[in-house]
Amino acid sequence: MMQSVTLILSVVIAQYGLTEGYLKVSLLNTFSYRSDATTVTHKYFKCFISETDLDGVSVTAERVSYTRNGGWRNPAPYPPTKDNQRTFNVYLQSSSNKAFGVYACEVTLGSSTTSVQTILLRSTAEIVPSDRLLTKTVNIGDTGVNLEMDELVEVEVEVEWRHNASDTFSQQQTRIPIPRGNRLLRATDGGVYECHHANRRDEALHGIQRLIIRGKYSDHNV
């Protein structure tokens, strides 16, 4: 039986801080993503450009962060292919849950670049964000910020956290304070946070949430 991957947030249109930049760009997923699907319709998301003048536009895509151990489990998306004048399809490698993770579509027009991100989790995940959202937006200097996950499947190992694919920290807790330590929130505290069961990161069954930090030096247009 094929395992499936679904989006907690199925349509991403500059919401919750997922867009960086000032060009009018949307990222769209309207289907349930099947990680082992063989049909073409289950292998891509769409990057839609709303700008009126597209002369000289450039579109690229990337995996934002490693969310499994080993580079081969974190393949980059294929180069975007033009579906029509304003829409580009970003195809993903789907076998063995390789589509799991965080992706970005970048659109450059002249001197302006906009990045739109999305996160793909498995529908059979053992750990998911408690608020069922893929991002959380706060401000530089905030206090009392917490990230929290729900452990849907309890196993006989502790949970571990990672920040931007770092080494693990804060074992045994599904709720953690940000920042770690007695200080105010900084821009560097933002990024991709993972919560997974110890020694099971490779299985892509864990939760991911991106922390967006806005402030004086933020370029988020939300």
Q: What is the pLDDT of residues 110-128, one digit of tens each?
A: 888 999 998 988 888 999 9
Q: What tokens were used for 132?
A: 């069922």
* pLDDT at residue 151 greater than cutoff 80: yes
* Nearest Cα residue to 108 out of 45, 47, 65: 47
Sequence-distant (6+) residues with CB within 8 A of 3 are: 34, 35, 36, 97, 122, 123, 124
Query: What's the pLDDT at 42?
Result: 57
Of 19-28, 35-44, 54-63, 88-97, least confident by mean pLDDT is 35-44
Burial-class residue 85 by CB neighbours within 10 Å (0-12, 13-18, 19+).
Answer: exposed
CB atoms within 10 A of CB 148: 15
| Lowest-confidence segment of 20-24, 73-77, 179-183, 217-221 by average pLDDT | 217-221
Q: Categorize the per-residue pLDDT at 142 as very low, low, confident or very high, splitting at 50, 70 and 90.
A: very high
Which range has the worst mean pLDDT, 19-33, 94-108, 199-213? 19-33
Nearest to 179 by CA among 140, 133, 131: 140
Judged against a pLDDT cut of 90, whether residue 176 lies above it is answered with yes
